[in-house]
Amino acid sequence: MPELTTNRLSVYLRCLDEVAGQGVRTISSTGLAQRLDLNAAQIRKDLAHFGEFGVRGVGYAVEDLRQHLRAILGLDRRHRVVIVGAGNLGLALADYGGFRSDGFDIVALVDSAPEKIGTRSRGGVPVGDAAELASLVTRERLDIAVIAVPPAAAQQVVDQLVKAGISAILTFSPAPVRVPEHVRVRRVDLSVQLEGLSYFLASERDEANATR
């Protein structure tokens, strides 16, 4: 399944969560599209990959579709997550409450700095020794890892995680990493996102100068 499709499923689920909270019981693809500024045909196509969920002329039952999407996205069970890197970013991620409400339990942080090992985040997540990462993965039954380490350490950390049995990794390191085919890596490069916004501002400025 294309990554863009699964990304959109997450967006649809967020919208359904919102309308369910407003007491909405049914919604059409057009209604979803209007709320999300998307194309209704694209929504129907995305959902059709996984079955027939709606009734023509009526739309989708909000609660039923929510549960279907949660199951498709694997959110019908909880995931146990380790964050590698107890710097400012790692600590902030560990204490973000939205992960738990979405089914992601931040079980542990690990770091290689002796002064951080044995401490806790403000929210109480313990910081363990990165050297014991493999045993931690097994003992705590971890299935997702988040990497928040300097670029030079990213590949070594990924290798440790893969060897320990982790096959789903989210990395905030800008460095590209190599993994076996069975391992899925998602990369969040904040600098790229900021540069995209910078380009938008530069384009607006250039357009304004051109019209003067």
Residue 2 sits at the vertex; the CA angle it makes with 147 and 163, to the nearest 5 degrees, is 35
- Hey, where are the domains in the chain? 3-72, 79-191
pLDDT recorded at residue 207: 79
pLDDT at 23: 94
Burial of 2 (0-12, 13-18, 19+ CB in 10 A): exposed
Q: Which two tokens stand for residue 188?
A: 């969040």
HSE of 162, CA atoms in CB hemisphere, 13 A: 15
pLDDT in tens, the chain (212 residues): 677 888 899 999 999 999 999 999 999 999 999 999 999 999 999 998 888 887 777 789 999 999 999 999 999 899 999 999 999 999 999 999 889 888 899 999 999 999 999 999 999 999 999 999 999 999 999 999 999 999 999 999 999 999 999 999 999 988 899 999 999 999 998 888 899 999 889 988 877 787 76
**How far is 73 from 6, CA to CA, in rounded Å?**
8
Q: Residue 1: what pLDDT?
A: 66
Give the domain 3-72 fold: Arc Repressor Mutant, subunit A (1.10.10)
Report the predicted TM-score, pTM, of the whole model to 2 decimal places.
0.82
- In this structure, which topology does domain 79-191 adopt according to CATH? Rossmann fold (3.40.50)
